[in-house]
Structure 1
Amino acid sequence: MSVPVGLSSACFMPTGVETAFALAAELGYDGVEVMVWSERASRDPRTLAGLAERYDQPVLAVHAPTLLLTRGVFGADPWSKVDRSIELALALGAPSVVLHPPFFWQTRYARGFVAGVALREMTTGMHLCVENMFTWRPRDAHSTRDFQAYTPTWDPVGQGYRSVTLDISHAATSGSDALAMARALGPTLRHLHLTDGVPGFRDDHLLPGQGDQDCAGVLTHLAGTGFEGRGGQVVVEVKTGSMTAVERREALASALAFAREHLEGQGRTENVHVPAPTRRRYRTG
């Protein structure tokens, strides 16, 4: 066995769940993470099960609709969103649900969040992998004002979660070190969104190698610390909306090769082509 490397349907939003399954199969991914979205296919268990069978791509995880843009999907109640996502994952045989921490205005939800997540993990057997987020920052690079959008915090380290998703782009946006965060999370880290980024106000979701995070180091760390044995998953989640079909295929093939080479402990990228803009750096001036 090896760590599965999946492809997120978020790469193809706002539509494109079937595209995710088809391209994952074509490129040799191990499965798909389904982002529950306004697209009907993304929340229909029959449709998703049919796609998984047709393309021989299992659903590795379901991403709950806990984004601002999905506030009406699966209803308005935050726990209902989580519970319906768990039901969808169970119906599809997926072991994990990815969810975000509460927004600052969701005070009641936030008060019981850690306990509610733990209870649902215990009663359903599902890994509820709470994802690291970031502060909201102004577009002015000279401003030092950050806005705390999540309660109790965007940072899952030390919050008592049993299962965590580490998103490398979110770590970059917050100015954090993804490798240091992976080390601090220890065995609670069960799910990785493989992407890249740079500090600033934008959540870039670049290809690994295009930002300033040590993506290779994170993968090597996971490979050497029992990630496979605890059912860990790596999912490529990058933005491809501005790419042509050829560029998208090349980019996603590159990300898959990058993941596998470093997860296997080789630490080599001779055969990995990272499309431009390679190593784009954030400038404060």
Structure 2
Amino acid sequence: MGVIGLSTSSVYPESTAHGFAYAAQLGYDAVEVMVGLDALSQQVAAVRQLSEHHEIPICAVHAPTLLLTQRVWGTEPWGKLERSAEMAHEVGADVVVVHPPFRWQKEYARDFVNGIAALENSTGIRFAVENMYPWRATKNRGAEMYLPGWDPSSEPYANTTIDLSHAAIAQSDVIEMAERLGDRLRHVHLTDGSGSAKDEHLVPGRGSMGAAAFLQHLASTSFDGAIVLEINTRRCASREEREADLRESLDFAREHFAVPTP
């Protein structure tokens, strides 16, 4: 069965170092490193040292392909992905999570599908392309902001990621998406959403995405990838409140990602 990990983005505005500390303290199996504005997250040696200090493995590296990280590790997108693979190799992770290109990155997007396959072949790292969503200008209208598209099940990627908060915005059925992806589903960002136009990243169970049923579906299909909690704790008023959300999320994952007794 898969491991239950914590994304370092889940503790923002606290640091990458705090993410490792929370994960170790609360009993998570692994950590996903979000390469972002926190300078430490960009340093391979520092990330490896954190993993060794807290005796917790790194299951994935999230490439800096978000809007806020467009200038992290330079502005050339393929160079970012190559550096992400190098970090993954150095810290013992086998997955790099990557978002599809933005619509304005036309040259990058033009050969994205083939380029990802070529990177996987040359690096030996799985690049798990994440589901995104249309940007909703109004309640019933959306703008396509990703190329070749926001739904990875529409493309022949070998490895993919399902994020429940992104699926909430797109109003996607995550179990149906998982069924379309089959064994190409390599990684999960466990969170939740209410279906609003905001990328909420709620604690799983607090939204309307059926996170419990989704985990039960994964367990029934013997999913063996990583299930990583990627929640938003920015509004937590204290460290204790953040810790409580992280603990609740882990407990939820362990409770529902279990093979049902016949």
Common fold, TM-score beyond 0.5? yes
Contact 2:135 2:142 in 1 (8 A): yes
Q: 1:247 aligns with which of 235, 241, 251?
A: 241
Q: Larger % of helix: which?
A: 2
Q: 1:153 aligns with which of 149, 155, 162?
A: 149
Q: What displacement does 1:184 show?
A: 1.3
For the pair 1:168 / 2:164, whether they are aligned, the reply is yes
Partner of 2:254: 260
CA distance in 1, matches of 2:149, 2:48: 35
Identity of aligned residues (%): 46
Deviations 1:197-235 (A, max 9, x none): 02221000001111111111211111121312xxx1100
Partner of 2:118: 119
Partner of 2:16: 17
Partner of 2:107: 108
Contact 2:120 2:126 in 1 (8 A): yes
CA distance in 1, matches of 2:188, 2:213: 13
Q: What displacement does 1:12 show?
A: 2.2
**Which amino acid letter does the alignment assign opposite residue 248 of structure 1?**
R
**Which amino acid letter does the alignment assign opposite residue 210 of structure 2?**
D
Q: What displacement does 1:265 show?
A: 2.4
Unaligned regions of 5+ residues in structure 2, if any? Answer: none
Alignment of 1:60-79 (within 5 A): 60-79=59-78
Partner of 2:212: 216
Partner of 2:231: 238
Q: What displacement does 1:15 show?
A: 4.6
Deviations 1:107-151 (A, max 9, x none): 11111100010111112111100000001113x5xx422111001
Contact 1:137 1:200 in 2 (8 A): no
Q: What displacement does 1:192 show?
A: 0.3
Q: What displacement does 1:163 show?
A: 0.2
Consecutive aligned runs of 4 or more in structure 1 exceeding 4 Å deviation: none
Report the number of matched residues. Answer: 260
Deviations 1:49-108 (A, max 9, x none): 110011111111000000110010011011011111111111111010000001111111
Partner of 1:192: 188
CA distance in 2, matches of 1:237, 1:209: 13
**Which amino acid letter does the alignment assign opposite residue 188 of structure 1?**
R
CA distance in 2, matches of 1:209, 1:25: 23
Secondary structure of 2:6 counterpart: strand
Q: What displacement does 1:168 show?
A: 0.5
CA distance in 2, matches of 1:102, 1:119: 16
Contact 2:13 2:234 in 1 (8 A): no
Contact 1:14 1:37 in 2 (8 A): no
**Which amino acid letter does the alignment assign opposite residue 155 of structure 1?**
D
